[in-house]
């Protein structure tokens, strides 16, 4: 297989590890993976005569989690929807496989060879297939050659099925050129700004205030409000009071020495042969003093780039290769050694010894980590103490005092945690009210009943007692007089700014001495203004010389379009191909989704996620 790849056969480019993700289960309307699922326990996914076992799906899930969510546990990844995405991808591949089987479409060895040999990720600087790069890429991704070729088969099968459809429906260059010209067009404008200045508006008399209030009375109604006592325990607060001794710091440093150690690396070159006779010939020539690169070029037609694995750690190599390579001295030749990829000879060119970070360099990091770890343990003890105290009949105040937590009072807040005037709450409770879980509990709890203890974000546990609730009501003018006056002045200031801008529209000479803006695109890119998007939408909706007024709440702006700048030929040439690709990809995706919907019905797609979840979560536990 690999020797055939070295012949350099040509084919269209294939993207490395192409994943066919098209929106999870949205295509078939499947929801959270726990409903509408049928199928035998020995099959996680089935379509026609094709099927995948729960173990196969679980292995792919774990591979994907480790590659893309390495800091996430299996349970967290399942809850986050990764299983849905993985099953969605594998279901699509299975449907294509089932249809290809019915149609008699197959993938030949030559097709595999062409696809892999022409993948850019595996080619050297001269565009030739490099087995060294191929092996290193697979090792870095955690794939065996067999695993990777299975994925190549799936991609090629899908291409065989989709190619006739994709080639039949395509946008042409003329349409792409029109779209590119539209998107690349630029404009310049002259901007005349009239700021909104409420402070310049005189305070109105009582009659005017009363009239304004009556006209806008509904906007001053008081919403439903609640007041609550909030008791909380947080790991962050506990951590601040924890003292870490020098002995603990030293012990943690010694225990986690591997985390602070720079691993040994070795500069290694390699040759890989398909048969034992060839590798023995190569070893004999090396033992007779021939140069490693010369032997590789002679027997394998490999370049220096093909043989060079670079500077690698022991964990980057296969077990047997790693042990032998890192036991040898610099300058040694290691092998032959056999792996799934063939027979290897290694040249140990350089050795870079690892090192250990000094304690003083990581002291603060260790202290922070130890505090956080110890705080979590203390936190759960305090939560248990709080729960026991509340269970014995203590009030929130008494229970929080025993547990050593924090007590806050939120007074007259709405469902968004804001004041009666829709403003952020001031005071110590303001940070807690940013947590949606706390707000939900305040508004879901019964009056004068201590809630259950719940966990919020950032390792915070809390309990609430809603003490009062007031119904929505109309407010009198004397309650909101200051707010009404402020609103009146702002409205009048906006009117004045708008009137000044409208006057500018009527006078063509107003902006004659104003410099034109830099050229910008339809999305406002190129225009340095906080309202760039709004300005661009007006500028591109009018002809050169036309002028319109926009309002931002902070200013009224007279926008005159000055120049309409078409894209030049070079820009169109560079962009046209990209636009055509994007348009055709979108069209192909639409066709693919429709085809998959049809195939799911034709081949009776069946899913059994509970079997996979049981395997994953059972293993995790």
Using alpha carbons only, give the angle 468, 470, 473 rounded to the nearest 5 degrees.
170
Assess whether 453 and 593 both reside in one domain.
Answer: no
Q: What per-residue confidence (pLDDT) applies to 164?
A: 67
pLDDT tens for 166-204 read 565 667 777 888 888 888 899 999 999 999 999 999 999
Question: Is 7 part of a structural domain of the chain?
Answer: yes
Question: Is 124 part of a structural domain of the chain?
Answer: yes
Mean pLDDT over 372-399 rounds to: 92
Which of these ranges, 71-85, 116-130, 557-571, has the smallest mean pLDDT?
Answer: 116-130
Which of these ranges, 34-43, 147-156, 265-274, 452-461, has the smallest mean pLDDT?
Answer: 34-43
Q: What per-residue confidence (pLDDT) applies to 517?
A: 94
Q: What is the DSSP letter of 164?
A: H
More confidently predicted of 299 and 262: 299
Which among 596, 585, 611, 610 has a CA at the least distance from the CA of 176? 585
Which run of H or of E encompasses 344?
strand 342-352
Of the chain, the percentage scoring pLDDT greater than 90 comes to 36
Domain boundary among 353, 379, 412: 353
Question: Is 257 part of a structural domain of the chain?
Answer: no
Assess whether 333 and 369 both reside in one domain.
Answer: no
Assess whether 116 and 74 both reside in one domain.
Answer: yes
Per-residue confidence at 96, pLDDT binned at 50, 70, 90? confident
How many CA atoms lie less than 13 Å away from 269 in the CB half-sphere?
Answer: 21
Assess whether 453 and 501 both reside in one domain.
Answer: no
What tokens were used for 612?
């996979």
* Residue 464 near residue 231, CB atoms below 8 Å: yes
Q: What per-residue confidence (pLDDT) applies to 129?
A: 77
Spatial separation of the C-alpha atoms in residues 347 and 345, rounded to whole Å: 7
Question: Is 92 part of a structural domain of the chain?
Answer: yes
More confidently predicted of 509 and 447: 447
Spatial separation of the C-alpha atoms in residues 74 and 59, rounded to whole Å: 12
584 CB neighbour count, 10 Å cutoff: 16
3-state secondary structure of 501: helix
Per-residue confidence at 212, pLDDT binned at 50, 70, 90? very high
Sheet of strand 555-565: strand arrangement: 186-195, 555-565, 547-551
Q: Among the residues of 12-127, which ranges form H helices?
A: 54-68, 74-79, 82-103, 109-117
Assess whether 11 and 135 both reside in one domain.
Answer: yes
Mean pLDDT over 456-465 rounds to: 89
Per-residue confidence at 21, pLDDT binned at 50, 70, 90? very low
The CA-atom distances, in angstroms, between 41 and each of 38, 80, 513 are 9, 24, 78
Assess whether 444 and 512 both reside in one domain.
Answer: no
More confidently predicted of 373 and 24: 373
Residue 310 pLDDT more than 70?
yes
Question: Is 258 part of a structural domain of the chain?
Answer: no
Residue 363 pLDDT more than 50?
yes
Only one residue has tokens 């070729």, namely 149
Which of these ranges, 21-25, 358-362, 525-529, has the smallest mean pLDDT?
Answer: 21-25
Q: What per-residue confidence (pLDDT) applies to 501?
A: 92
What tokens were used for 392?
């014995």
Which of these ranges, 95-109, 152-166, 191-205, 603-617, has the smallest mean pLDDT?
Answer: 152-166
Q: What per-residue confidence (pLDDT) applies to 201?
A: 95
3-state secondary structure of 460: strand
Assess whether 268 and 144 both reside in one domain.
Answer: no
Domain harbouring 285, CATH code = 3.10.50.40
Assess whether 414 and 270 both reside in one domain.
Answer: no
Question: Is 251 part of a structural domain of the chain?
Answer: no
Q: What per-residue confidence (pLDDT) applies to 161?
A: 72
Question: Is 181 part of a structural domain of the chain?
Answer: no
Residue 457 pLDDT more than 90?
no
Q: What per-residue confidence (pLDDT) applies to 155?
A: 79
Mean pLDDT over 446-467 rounds to: 91
Domain harbouring 110, CATH code = 1.10.4030
Q: pTM here? A: 0.51
Mean pLDDT over 332-359 rounds to: 82
Assess whether 51 and 140 both reside in one domain.
Answer: yes
Contacts of 553 (CB under 8 A, 6+ apart): 196, 494
* Residue 1 near residue 116, CB atoms below 8 Å: no
pLDDT tens for 59-77 read 888 888 887 887 788 888 8
Residue 37 pLDDT more than 50?
no
Q: What per-residue confidence (pLDDT) applies to 181?
A: 87
Per-residue confidence at 552, pLDDT binned at 50, 70, 90? very high
Assess whether 405 and 453 both reside in one domain.
Answer: yes
Residue 40 pLDDT more than 80?
no
Residue 36 pLDDT more than 60?
no
Q: Kindly report the average pLDDT of the chain as a whole number.
A: 83
Question: Is 461 part of a structural domain of the chain?
Answer: yes
Assess whether 145 and 10 both reside in one domain.
Answer: yes
Q: What per-residue confidence (pLDDT) applies to 165?
A: 63
Domain that holds residue 508: 186-219+478-565
Mean pLDDT over 416-433 rounds to: 89
Which of these ranges, 114-128, 234-248, 533-547, has the smallest mean pLDDT?
Answer: 114-128
Per-residue confidence at 138, pLDDT binned at 50, 70, 90? confident
Assess whether 133 and 19 both reside in one domain.
Answer: yes
Q: What per-residue confidence (pLDDT) applies to 143?
A: 67
Counting the structural domains of the chain, the total is 4
């Amino acid at each position: 297989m690999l020797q055939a790849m070295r012949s350099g056969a040509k084919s269209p480019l294939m993207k490395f590890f192409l994943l066919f993700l098209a929106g999870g289960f949205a295509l078939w309307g499947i929801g959270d993976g726990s409903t509408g699922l049928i199928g035998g326990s020995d099959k996680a996914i089935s379509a026609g005569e094709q099927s995948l076992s729960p173990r196969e799906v679980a292995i792919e899930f774990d591979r994907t989690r480790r590659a893309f969510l390495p800091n996430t546990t299996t349970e967290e990844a399942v809850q986050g929807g990764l299983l849905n995405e993985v099953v969605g991808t594998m279901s699509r591949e299975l449907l294509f496989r089932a249809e290809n089987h019915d149609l008699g479409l197959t993938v030949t060895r030559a097709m595999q060879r062409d696809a892999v040999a022409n993948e850019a990720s595996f080619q050297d600087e001269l565009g030739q297939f490099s087995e060294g790069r191929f092996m290193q890429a697979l090792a870095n991704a955690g794939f065996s050659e067999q695993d990777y070729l299975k994925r190549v088969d799936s991609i090629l099968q899908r291409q065989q099925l989709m190619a006739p459809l994709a080639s039949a429906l395509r946008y042409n260059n003329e349409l792409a050129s029109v779209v590119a010209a539209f998107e690349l067009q630029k404009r310049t404008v002259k901007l005349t700004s009239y700021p909104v200045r409420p402070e310049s508006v005189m305070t109105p008399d009582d009659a005017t205030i009363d009239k304004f209030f009556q006209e806008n009375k509904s906007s001053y109604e008081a919403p439903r409000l609640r007041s609550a006592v909030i008791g909380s325990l947080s790991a962050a607060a506990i951590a601040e009071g924890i003292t870490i001794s020098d002995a603990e710091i030293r012990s943690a440093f010694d225990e986690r020495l591997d985390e602070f150690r720079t691993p040994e690396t070795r500069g290694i070159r390699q040759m890989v042969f398909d048969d034992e006779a060839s590798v023995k010939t190569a070893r004999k020539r090396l033992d007779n003093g021939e140069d490693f690169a010369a032997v590789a070029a002679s027997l394998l037609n490999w370049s220096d780039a093909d043989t060079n694995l670079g500077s690698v750690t022991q964990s980057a190599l296969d077990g047997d290769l790693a042990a032998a390579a890192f036991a040898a001295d610099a300058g040694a030749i290691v092998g032959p050694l056999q792996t799934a990829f063939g027979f290897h000879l290694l040249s140990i060119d350089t050795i870079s010894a690892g090192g250990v970070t000094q304690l003083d360099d990581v002291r603060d990091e260790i202290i922070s980590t130890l505090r956080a770890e110890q705080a979590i343990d203390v936190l759960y003890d305090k939560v248990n103490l709080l729960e026991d105290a509340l269970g014995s009949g203590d009030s929130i105040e008494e229970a929080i005092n025993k547990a050593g937590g924090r007590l806050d009072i939120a007074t007259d807040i709405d469902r968004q945690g804001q004041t009666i005037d829709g403003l952020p709450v001031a005071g110590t409770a303001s940070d807690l009210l940013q947590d949606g879980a706390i707000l939900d509990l305040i508004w879901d709890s019964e009056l004068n009943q201590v809630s259950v203890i719940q966990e919020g974000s950032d390792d915070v546990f809390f309990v609430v007692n809603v003490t009062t609730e007031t119904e929505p009501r109309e407010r009198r003018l004397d309650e909101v007089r200051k707010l009404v006056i402020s609103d009146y002045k702002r409205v009048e200031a906006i009117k004045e700014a708008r009137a000044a801008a409208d006057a500018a529209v009527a006078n063509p000479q107003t902006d004659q001495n104003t410099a034109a803006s830099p050229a910008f695109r339809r999305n406002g890119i190129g225009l340095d203004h906080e309202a760039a998007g709004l300005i661009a939408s007006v500028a591109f909706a009018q002809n050169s010389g036309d002028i319109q007024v926009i309002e931002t709440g902070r200013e009224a702006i007279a926008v005159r379009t000055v120049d309409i700048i078409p894209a030049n030929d070079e820009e169109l040439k560079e962009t046209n191909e990209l636009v055509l690709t994007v348009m055709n990809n979108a069209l192909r995706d639409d066709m693919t989704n429709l085809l998959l919907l049809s195939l799911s019905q034709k081949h009776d797609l069946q899913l059994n996620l509970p079997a996979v979840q049981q395997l994953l979560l059972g293993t995790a536990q």
